[in-house]
Structure 1
Amino acid sequence: MKVVQVLPDLNGGGVERGTLEVAEALIKAGHESVVISAGGKMVAELEAAGSRHVQWDLGKKSLLTFRYIWAVRKWLADEQPDILHLRSRMPAWVMWFAWRGLPKKQRPHLVTTVHGLYSVSRYSAIMCKGEKVIAVSDTVRQYIVDNYPQTAKAKIVRIFRGVDAKDFVYQYQPSTDWKKAWYAQFPQSQHKIVLTLPGRLTRLKGHNDFISLIERLVRAGLNVCGLIVGGEDPKRQAYAQSLHQSVIEKGLSDRIIFTGARSDIRDIYGISQLVFSLSTKPESFGRTVLEALRMGVPTVGYDHGGVGEILTAMFAQGKVELGNADELDAVVKSLIESGQKPAESSCFTKQDMLENTLAVYNSFVCLPDNKEK
């Protein structure tokens, strides 16, 4: 079986990581894996695991991007893949037009994954055109049903994202050397109750709610330190600056740390008493919540979207009504006082995600005539 996955680039992120994981699983199962993207820092890892990378920049939202349609169509005709798996809207449009131009019996089977709660539009509707449409959570499945009723329910397959237990070990603790280097860089976090909000500095991630929470906890006499872990979005520098200014104005410069982008998030979870997800817009899944809970770190989040689903399954004590500051305070204080931690869990595993994804691919290949539409 030859499977081609398509996405904008391979520069890091949840979609990109999932693409590499599926690619590796395909190779291990004896199949052929090809990924089309504009390239990026993860290409070397992809190729080292046995996949082939084809470099096409199909992610730019420009009419000029459609010039690739004819080259892509010829490539598909030459390569004759069994499965074409589309993971992002703009590349999906290019690939779909190329795919539609092939004779029916030459077309690979088409799979799409709805990774996000996209704006509802004709542009986003492309992600529901697969013969199978993978939804990454029940929230996403319902989003498809509600907003794209022309999508047959029978072709929607809910496959939760997952993390590897070997990457996020229950009760993991960072090394002494890591702690020494961390506290040398951020001494104000030592001997404090560390509360962590992971996520890039974008407006929907709830940073202002987190800053206000830290302010209230400090006023209540708790010895807390808040970590905001994530890089600044170059397009939203004014927002990032407003967050820094808010921290200064509230007198919290010694209580809130902006760490920037970090590659050691597992170690940061390990020194955290609580981890947060305070996105004001529902998340399609909520990988950071899952990562922290799998390590046994109590996690608090607004009870909506994929985050609500994960908390319901793994740590219902951490659920808070969206925007309810009083309930947020109460839940945080209760968890700090009780020291209650999530139990070890086998929910939302990477292995389940991979097995279920390959089962979707195999469902086509096992048809009597696997090219017939």
Structure 2
Amino acid sequence: MAVLSRQKLRIVQVLPELNAGGVERGTVEFARELVKAGHESIVISSGGRQVPKLESEGSRHITALVHKKSLASFFQIRPMRRLLADLKPDIVHVRSRMPAWIVWLAWRKMNPEIRPKLISTFHGMYSVNAYSAIMAKSEHIISISDCVSDYIFRNYAVSPDKLTRIYRGLDRNSFSEGSNIDKWKDELFLKYPQFKSKKLILMPGRLTRWKGQEAFLSMMNVLVGIDPRCHGIIVGEAESNKEHYLQELTVQCSRLGLDDKVTFVGHRSDINNFYSLSAVACHMSNKAEPFGRTVTEALASGVPVVAYDRGGASESLRAGFPEGLVAADDIAAFAHKVSALLDSEANIQLPDEFYLDSQARETLNVYYRALES
């Protein structure tokens, strides 16, 4: 099968949508790597703001209603089977549960001799039930961290040779230390003059209760008492059905007297520059997160990170900057750790396996092994 290892592949990735979020961004970045390597990249989703970027980088996007968690989605099974028969991909890679159900029900009725190989990625530690079990029905499974691998082994009858751990990789060109951001910084300071001459403490991530923005505000309340130079920045937007959470956060911010100490900047497409501007980045999820992409993004930008010691986030931090680990839910210890790092020289060493080129190489190896089996 030596010739197979040099074969150019037609790869279909399927996910609910292409808006904000780590899975969506990672899919677009991986698609770009496939195109750069000479493979044909196709993404199926219900659409979203990242479609133009995906297509401009050489992939094809096909719109399909694969995002709704309802019985109506099962009307997409036959159209999906016809689509896969027309596309004739080598690999179909599913990245979420509802699309996985549609694809698997379509795929299993195809001729096993000619149908594509089916790969899934566990991007999360989903609730254990029949709905989530679909992610374990593919021919090979990728997990995004060791803690996700452990979760899969604990909850599903998966043999070790069917599972490969591949960390979600970062684009080296997007997150790098020492980028020239002077013009961007000047424009930002015109809009947010409160950032000038401050030690900026970054809290990136979607505004959702489990991400820990409430804990961040409580931590900032302690931190500004230790070091008044600090100013918190919360980057991220609330989903359309969770805008009430943003209101709760602003009320909490005012109640703590932090209106002039913390700024909400909403969704930003220039998050890499915010990392470079910050003194410390924070990760404060109130439950074990499967990976914690913002941890590796900040570390790749040369920014020290403080995070609770649990889940995939601590796994990433332990690999690149273990000094930033704090006991889970200890707000006071978190604030003191941030303070201690403000004027220290951080020794950050993020291993190669956390970068996109490594992820692409290892994922392609999974594809080729699947084709050889």
Q: Are 2:173 and 1:171 equivalent residues in the alignment? A: no
- The residue aligned with 2:242 is 236
Match of 1:61 among 66, 69, 76: 69
- The residue aligned with 2:139 is 131
CA distance in 1, matches of 2:367, 2:307: 34
Q: Which amino acid aligns with 2:193?
A: P
- The residue aligned with 1:30 is 38
- The residue aligned with 1:17 is 25
Could you tell me which runs of 5 or more consecutive residues in structure 1 were left unpaired when the two chains were aligned: 368-373
Q: How many residues align?
A: 365
**Is the Cα contact below 8 Å between 1:21 and 1:354 reproduced in 2?**
no
- The residue aligned with 2:106 is 98
Shift of 1:45: 2.5
Which secondary structure does the structure 2 equivalent of 1:16 belong to? helix
CA distance in 1, matches of 2:145, 2:199: 32
**Is the Cα contact below 8 Å between 1:173 and 1:267 reproduced in 2?**
no
Q: Are 2:169 and 1:162 equivalent residues in the alignment? A: yes
- The residue aligned with 2:5 is none
Q: 1:324-335 to 2 correspondence within 5 Å?
A: 324-335=330-341
Change (3 A) 1:41 1:313: same
Change (3 A) 1:46 1:309: same
Which runs of 4 or more aligned residues in structure 1 lie more than 3 Å from their structure 2 counterparts after TM superposition? 343-347
- The residue aligned with 1:371 is none
Which secondary structure does the structure 1 equivalent of 2:200 belong to? strand
CA distance in 2, matches of 1:72, 1:251: 54
Q: Are 2:120 and 1:112 equivalent residues in the alignment? A: yes
Q: Are 2:92 and 1:76 equivalent residues in the alignment? A: no
- The residue aligned with 2:312 is 306
CA distance in 2, matches of 1:164, 1:60: 30
Shift of 1:344: 6.6
Q: Which amino acid aligns with 1:156?
A: L
Two-structure CA RMSD over aligned residues (Å)? 1.7
Q: 1:113-262 to 2 correspondence within 5 Å?
A: 113-148=121-156, 150-175=157-182, 177-262=183-268
Q: Identity of counterpart residues, as a percentage? A: 44
- The residue aligned with 1:318 is 324
Instruction: Please report the TM-score for the alignment, with normalisation by the length of structure 2.
Output: 0.93
CA distance in 2, matches of 1:251, 1:170: 34
What is the CA deviation profile of residues 332-372 of structure 1, one whole-angstrom value per residue up to 9, with x for unaligned ones?
Answer: 221124343524754511100000011111113334xxxxx
- The residue aligned with 1:352 is 358
Q: Which amino acid aligns with 2:161?
A: A
**Is the Cα contact below 8 Å between 1:113 and 1:135 reproduced in 2?**
yes
Which secondary structure does the structure 1 equivalent of 2:354 belong to? coil
Which secondary structure does the structure 2 equivalent of 1:338 belong to? coil
Larger mean Cα displacement after TM superposition, 28-37 or 183-192: 28-37
Q: Which amino acid aligns with 1:292?
A: A
Could you tell me which runs of 5 or more consecutive residues in structure 2 were left unpaired when the two chains were aligned: 1-8
What is the CA deviation profile of residues 83-127 of structure 1, one whole-angstrom value per residue up to 9, with x for unaligned ones?
Answer: 111111101101111111123223211100001111111111111
CA distance in 2, matches of 1:161, 1:111: 16
Shift of 1:309: 0.9
Which secondary structure does the structure 2 equivalent of 1:104 belong to? coil
CA distance in 1, matches of 2:364, 2:30: 8
**Is the Cα contact below 8 Å between 1:8 and 1:91 reproduced in 2?**
yes
Change (3 A) 1:97 1:346: closer
Change (3 A) 1:336 1:247: same
Larger mean Cα displacement after TM superposition, 150-159 or 14-23: 14-23
- The residue aligned with 1:5 is 13
Larger mean Cα displacement after TM superposition, 126-135 or 99-108: 99-108
CA distance in 1, matches of 2:92, 2:34: 13
**Is the Cα contact below 8 Å between 2:202 and 2:282 reproduced in 1?**
yes
Instruction: Please report the TM-score for the alignment, with normalisation by the length of structure 1.
Output: 0.93
Q: Which amino acid aligns with 2:160?
A: K
Match of 2:269 among 256, 259, 263: 263
Q: Which amino acid aligns with 1:201?
A: L
Larger mean Cα displacement after TM superposition, 235-244 or 29-38: 29-38
- The residue aligned with 2:3 is none
CA distance in 1, matches of 2:178, 2:86: 50
Q: 1:288-303 to 2 correspondence within 5 Å?
A: 288-303=294-309
- The residue aligned with 1:370 is none
